[in-house]
Amino acid sequence: MKELNTDILVIGGGAAGLSAAAEAASSGAKVTIIESDLQIGGQLIKQTHKFFGSKDEYAGTRGYKIADILKAELDANKAKIDILTSTTVTGYYIEDKTFTAMTGEESYFRIKAQKAVVATGAQERLIPFPNNYLPGVYGAGAVQTLMNVYGVKPGNRVLMIGAGNIGLIVSYQLIQAGVKVAAIVEALPRVGGYWVHAAKVRRLGVPIKLQHSIKEALGGEFVEGAVIQELDDKFQPTGSEEKIDCDIICLAVGLTPTTELLSQAYCEMRYVPQLCGYVALRDRTMRTSNPDFWTAGDSSGIEEASAAMVEGRIAGLCAAKSIGLPVKTERFDEYWKRLDHLRAGEVGEKIRAGVNKVLRDRWEDK
């Protein structure tokens, strides 16, 4: 079986992985990025809206343009970076410190790396309800991929489940694509996303129904409607129901970190609600309890692209340092300043609480 050798393996070519790769390569490491998708960029390539965050992390720039900026940075170090797209890292075998990977469905090979940065992003959460298997029931990420990557309009009338930032932003993008948004339903008594995103869709006449959820999808062979129901303060149905005319039901009910490879590497994991799932304990260099593994981005806790980029940079820099390369250590302090800034104030409170549960000063102190 073919075997690939590299200094630093970066798994996932999203905001975190590309930043980690750029940082490690500019420190002199030979880097290989493995990305399952047809192209690198991760979530960023689907985001047509202007990002929040800070100036250093391209606030005010559209997501897909941030991906272009990161790709250009990789180009500047291209002698040091190999990029394999349409390739998935399928497993890690701790006994002989070997990764396995597949390109397409044919080529299966091994990878040996001195160090690895796991930047595998997140998976969408789904919720159970009758008929949720019908064609026309989508995760919000799939709807974005169809519309913003492939230029395919997913349907004509959508019921959006979830009024967090993703539900609100994807609703707006659906409207831009000519899809009518019949309603956004949200189980909580408040909108979870930023006010500015909610205001945009409300101005366009989209009802946001708080304390409501989907009861069932209607239809025989594909979605032909849905029934929504009102919930009380204990999330129990009040008995008040409404039929919604729609041909798409879009689920935007949260993300959870993709961490299987970290578990396979026996990294110590913890369930942290504020970070939306199981994540690896890490020190301030983003190194996990397995000294060959770093974690960064949504796979280390659901946050934002801005934080994913900074964490990626810290991980790439410190992974390069760990193999003896002369890195500019003052960058480490600079990146932590940026992270602290992004996580400051009321908005960052939840993330700070989550990170405090998984951050270790030094591994010896565990």
Ligand X SMILES: Cc1cc2nc3c(=O)[nH]c(=O)nc-3n(C[C@H](O)[C@H](O)[C@H](O)COP(=O)(O)OP(=O)(O)OC[C@H]3O[C@@H](n4cnc5c(N)ncnc54)[C@H](O)[C@@H]3O)c2cc1C
CA distance 229 to 147: 29
If DSSP codes are grouped into helix, strand and coil, which group holds residue 210? strand
Fill in the per-residue mask, 124 to 163: x = in contact with ligand X (CB under 6 A), - = not in contact. Answer: ----------------------------------------
Residue from 8, 9, 10, 15 touching ligand X (CB under 6 A): that is 15
The DSSP result for 258-327, as a single string, is --HHHHHTT--EEEEGGGTEEEE-EETT-B-SSTTEEE-GGGGSS--HHHHHHHHHHHHHHHHHHTT---
Asked if 186 is part of the footprint of ligand X (rule: CB under 6 A), the reply reads: no
Asked if 9 is part of the footprint of ligand X (rule: CB under 6 A), the reply reads: no
When the beta carbons of 196 and 240 are compared against ligand X, the nearer one is: 196
Residue from 6, 7, 10, 14 touching ligand X (CB under 6 A): that is 14
Residue from 6, 26, 27, 47 touching ligand X (CB under 6 A): that is 47
CB 249 within 8 A of CB 136: yes
Residue from 306, 318, 321, 351 touching ligand X (CB under 6 A): that is 306
Asked if 182 is part of the footprint of ligand X (rule: CB under 6 A), the reply reads: no
When the beta carbons of 92 and 244 are compared against ligand X, the nearer one is: 92
Element (DSSP H or E) covering residue 205? none
When the beta carbons of 39 and 285 are compared against ligand X, the nearer one is: 39
CA distance 99 to 93: 6
Asked if 27 is part of the footprint of ligand X (rule: CB under 6 A), the reply reads: no
Contacts of residue 133, defined as CB under 8 A and 6 or more positions apart, other chains included, come to: none
Kindly state the smallest distance separating residue 63's Cβ from ligand X, in Å: 6
When the beta carbons of 116 and 231 are compared against ligand X, the nearer one is: 116
Asked if 42 is part of the footprint of ligand X (rule: CB under 6 A), the reply reads: yes
Kindly state the smallest distance separating residue 301's Cβ from ligand X, in Å: 10
Asked if 48 is part of the footprint of ligand X (rule: CB under 6 A), the reply reads: no
Kindly state the smallest distance separating residue 49's Cβ from ligand X, in Å: 6
Residue from 7, 23, 35, 230 touching ligand X (CB under 6 A): that is 35
Contacts of residue 295, defined as CB under 8 A and 6 or more positions apart, other chains included, come to: 117, 118, 119, 259, 262, 267, 279, 280, 282, 286, 288, 311, 315
> Binding segment for ligand X among 44-52, 147-155, 183-191, 353-361 (CB under 6 A)?
44-52
Q: At what angle do helices 305-322 and 63-75 cross, to 10 degrees?
A: 20
CA distance 43 to 141: 8
Asked if 44 is part of the footprint of ligand X (rule: CB under 6 A), the reply reads: yes
Question: Nearest-CA neighbor of 160 among 213, 123, 114, 122?
Answer: 213
- DSSP for residue 147: I
Residue from 8, 29, 31, 53 touching ligand X (CB under 6 A): that is 53
What value, to the nearest 5°, has the Cα angle with vertex 325 and ends 291 and 259?
30
Structure tokens of 311? 């964490």
Please report, as residue ranges, which positions from 269 to 298 form the binding site for ligand X (by CB under 6 A): 297-298
Kindly state the smallest distance separating residue 220's Cβ from ligand X, in Å: 31
Q: Please give the residue ranges that form the binding site for ligand X (CB under 6 A).
A: 11-17, 34-37, 42-44, 47, 51-53, 88-89, 119-122, 165-166, 169-170, 258, 297-299, 303-306, 308
